[in-house]
Amino acid sequence: MTTFVILADAASPADFAAARQQMAFTLGFHIILASIGIGLPAITLLAEWRALRTGDQVYAELARRWMKAAGVLFAVGAVSGTVLSFEMGTLWPGFMDKYGQVFGAAFALEGIAFFIEAIFMGIYLYGWDRLPPRVHFLTGIPVVIAGLLSASFVVTVNSWMNQPQGFKLVNGEVTDVDPLAAMFNPATPVQAVHLILASLMVCGFVVASVYAVALLRDHRAGRPLDPYHKRGFAIPFTLGAVCAPLQVLVGDWAVRFVHDNQPIKFAAMEGVHHTEAGVPFKFAVFEIPNALSLMTSFDANATIRGLDSWPEDVRPPDEIVRISFEIMITLGMALLALATWWAFAWWRHRKGREGLGWNPWFLRLAALAGVGACVAMEAGWTTTEVGRQPWIVYGVMRTEEAVNTAPGLRFGLYVVLVVYAVLAVATVSVLRRMRRRPDEPATPAKELEVVG
């Protein structure tokens, strides 16, 4: 009843739902583009570094094409990111008006990092065949660093929404603002590391999946595997495979942080409905007695708060949170298993026992890894965002208090769906072009400077 009264005073249920759907859709779209934007410059530099070390023209051609693709995706990501910045003000004016002064510095720093990234990406792209090879390689390093910083600054805002600090509320007014304390809140380290690793995994597995499909076509046609496709697969897949086990460790860190700092979200993630001691670990149809208490507190009989210990109007939609959490875990473990297969094949190759894992079944699974990584990313983001509901700022401001009260918000959602459909077609078109074998001969090996 309380919720209904608040909605009636703020926005119609249809407009409130449309605002949430629009924000969820645009964020879900942008986070995949941003992930590729973070990772693609890194694998581009890895390819160029290999080209400089070996003089191999295939690596040079891969680096050239990947950075061109990164430039296009950067432009698309800038569009979707700009839409998001407008949405923050138009959909959630209550949130921006009251707390923008607290976290605004993080967005300002993100903007600076974004411009640095754009400037050096332009220099890098223009510098092909115009700068000495080593200098050209060095101009790509700021692109990678600025991309990582940009993502980290944005994450500090979201982590602040989960662990708000750096201000005081006096009679409902925000006072004593400390932007640094807001940025470096307790959730920032774990969320930033978790997101960056996830972004590198998404980019690595998505790009590799494009070349896995091309290698499968080589298999199907009965022709030798194209070295361009093999190298185009190996670099990004190795990046994703290296990040996969690290993400398992960081994921455990993140879950323990949520257990200690957002126990209601933890209860929703783990499906703990009643407060009790010796809580079993449940996952899909499996159940291990006392395991959840043991894993969280190193005590098999430890007590964990259940959802029934909070009033109903502050509980998140627990089924959505639990299912999205289990999807993320399942796909993360599947990617870890595939990464282990790749590492084992590489180890046997190094020992001279047999070639790398180019068998069709491995490539089929690798072709699906890109989609799997994206779904895992979306599921993890859903767990974080829906698990914080009904708060837009945890424990401080409810989401319905922040929404725009103007009627007709749902029409904005319809426009966004059309615009983003066009952006999605452009993005997929770029990725499809990446797997094609260049028609023109690449730069002759003799023209490449071999370093080391």
Is the per-residue pLDDT at 248 higher than 90?
yes
User: Taking Cα atoms as reference points, which of 10, 31, 12 lies closest to residue 84?
Assistant: 31
- Pairwise pLDDT comparison (450 vs 396), residue with the higher score: 396
Alpha helices, DSSP H, located in 271-359: 291-297, 318-350
Give me the pLDDT at residue 10, please: 60
Positive or negative CA dihedral for 63, 67, 73, 77?
A: positive
Neighbours of 122 (CB within 10 A): 14
Give me the pLDDT at residue 9, please: 58
Q: How far apart are CA 49 and CA 243, in angstroms?
A: 20
Positive or negative CA dihedral for 150, 205, 54, 56?
A: negative
Give me the pLDDT at residue 365, please: 94
Is the per-residue pLDDT at 12 higher than 90?
no
How far, rounded to the nearest angstrom, does the alpha carbon of residue 7 sit from its chain's CA centroid? 32
Q: How confident is the model at residue 265 (pLDDT cuts 50, 70, 90)?
A: very high
Range 364-382 average pLDDT: 94
Range 334-339 average pLDDT: 95
Return the structure tokens found at 166. 């750096």
Q: How far apart are CA 317 and CA 9, in angstroms?
A: 23
Give me the pLDDT at residue 444, please: 45
Place of tokens 């009627």: 407
Is the per-residue pLDDT at 87 higher than 80?
yes
Q: How far apart are CA 424 and CA 410, in angstroms?
A: 21
Give me the pLDDT at residue 13, please: 83
How far, rounded to the nearest angstrom, does the alpha carbon of residue 69 sit from its chain's CA centroid? 19
Is the per-residue pLDDT at 442 higher than 60?
no
Question: pTM for this one?
Answer: 0.87
Alpha carbon separation from 2 to 230, 310, 314 (Å, rounded): 60, 16, 11
Q: How far apart are CA 92 and CA 23, in angstroms?
A: 10
Place of tokens 């361009």: 228
Range 240-246 average pLDDT: 94
Is the per-residue pLDDT at 321 higher than 60?
yes
Give me the pLDDT at residue 447, please: 43
Burial per residue of 333-361, b for 16 or more beta-carbon CB atoms within 10 angstroms, e otherwise: ebbbebbebbbebeeeeeeeeeeebbeee
Give me the pLDDT at residue 391, please: 94
Give φ, ψ of 184 to 5 degrees. -100, 50
Positive or negative CA dihedral for 95, 100, 105, 111?
A: positive
Give me the pLDDT at residue 431, please: 64
Alpha carbon separation from 94 to 392, 403, 408 (Å, rounded): 10, 6, 17
Alpha carbon separation from 49 to 96, 136, 141, 246, 327 (Å, rounded): 44, 11, 11, 24, 36
Is the per-residue pLDDT at 46 higher than 80?
yes
Q: How confident is the model at residue 327 (pLDDT cuts 50, 70, 90)?
A: very high
Of all residues in the chain, the percent with pLDDT exceeding 90 is 48
Range 91-119 average pLDDT: 89
Alpha carbon separation from 416 to 12, 14, 410 (Å, rounded): 20, 17, 10
Is the per-residue pLDDT at 89 higher than 60?
yes
Is the per-residue pLDDT at 38 higher than 80?
yes
Q: How confident is the model at residue 4 (pLDDT cuts 50, 70, 90)?
A: very low
Alpha helices, DSSP H, located in 55-132: 57-91, 93-126
Return the structure tokens found at 281. 């670990």
Alpha carbon separation from 209 to 60, 90, 358, 373 (Å, rounded): 20, 38, 13, 11
Q: How far apart are CA 187 and CA 257, in angstroms?
A: 8
Q: How far apart are CA 147 and CA 162, in angstroms?
A: 23
Give φ, ψ of 297 to 5 degrees. -125, 0
Give me the pLDDT at residue 450, please: 44
Is the per-residue pLDDT at 6 higher than 50?
no
Among 2-11, 27-36, 77-86, 418-427, the range scoring the smallest mean pLDDT is 2-11
User: Taking Cα atoms as reference points, which of 366, 342, 374, 295 lies closest to residue 33?
Assistant: 374
Is the per-residue pLDDT at 441 higher than 50?
no
Q: How far apart are CA 218 and CA 233, in angstroms?
A: 13
Give me the pLDDT at residue 438, please: 57
Q: How confident is the model at residue 354 (pLDDT cuts 50, 70, 90)?
A: low
> Contact, 149 vs 141, CB < 8 A?
no
Range 188-211 average pLDDT: 93
pLDDT in tens, 398-418: 999 988 888 877 788 888 888
Give me the pLDDT at residue 240, please: 94
Q: How far apart are CA 17 and CA 409, in angstroms?
A: 9
Is the per-residue pLDDT at 136 higher than 60?
yes
Give me the pLDDT at residue 184, please: 93
Return the structure tokens found at 312. 């109903």
Range 335-353 average pLDDT: 85
Is the per-residue pLDDT at 199 higher than 90?
yes
Among 2-6, 91-95, 408-412, the range scoring the smallest mean pLDDT is 2-6
Give me the pLDDT at residue 448, please: 44
Among 7-11, 32-36, 230-234, 363-367, the range scoring the smallest mean pLDDT is 7-11
Return the structure tokens found at 326. 């289990």
Burial per residue of 56-88, b for 16 or more beta-carbon CB atoms within 10 angstroms, e otherwise: bbbbbbbbbbbbbbbbebbebbebbbebbeebb
Q: How far apart are CA 115 and CA 98, in angstroms?
A: 27
Q: How confident is the model at residue 440 (pLDDT cuts 50, 70, 90)?
A: very low
Range 347-356 average pLDDT: 70
Range 212-226 average pLDDT: 86
Range 268-281 average pLDDT: 91
Kindly report the average pLDDT of the chain as a whole number: 86
> Contact, 381 vs 254, CB < 8 A?
no
C-alpha gyration radius of the chain = 24
> Contact, 240 vs 204, CB < 8 A?
yes
Residues forming a β-bridge with 174: 169
Q: How far apart are CA 250 and CA 256, in angstroms?
A: 10
Range 94-123 average pLDDT: 90
Q: How confident is the model at residue 149 (pLDDT cuts 50, 70, 90)?
A: very high
